[in-house]
Structure 1
Amino acid sequence: MEEQKLGAPPSQEVRQWAMFCHFAAFAGMIIPFGNLLGPLLVWQLKKDLDPFVDAQGKEALNFQITVSLAMLVSMLLMLVVIGFVLIGIIGLGALVLMIIAGIKANEGQAYRYPFTWRVIK
Structure 2
Amino acid sequence: MESNYHTLKRTDNQLLVITHLSQLLTYVTGFGGLLAPLIIWATQKDQVDSMDTHGKAILNFQLSVLIYSLLSIPLILVFGLGIVTLILIGILAFVMPIINAIKASNGELPSYPLSINFIS
TM-score of the superposed pair, with normalisation by structure 2: 0.84
Deviation at 1:30, TM superposition (A): 2.4
* Structure 1 gap ranges (5+): 5-9
Matched, 1:57 2:55: yes
Q: Give me the CA root mean square deviation.
A: 1.8
Deviation at 1:114, TM superposition (A): 1.8
In the other structure, the counterpart of 2:73 is 75
Identity across aligned pairs (percent)?
35
Matched, 1:34 2:44: no
CA distance in 1, matches of 2:18, 2:41: 9
CA distance in 1, matches of 2:15, 2:56: 13
Runs of 4+, deviation exceeding 3 Å: none
CA distance in 2, matches of 1:62, 1:22: 12
TM-score of the superposed pair, with normalisation by structure 1: 0.84
In the other structure, the counterpart of 2:43 is 45
* Structure 2 gap ranges (5+): none
Query: Which amino acid in the other structure matches residue 77 of structure 1?
Result: L
| Corresponding residue pairs, total | 113
CA distance in 2, matches of 1:57, 1:83: 29
Deviation at 1:25, TM superposition (A): 0.9
CA distance in 2, matches of 1:36, 1:47: 16
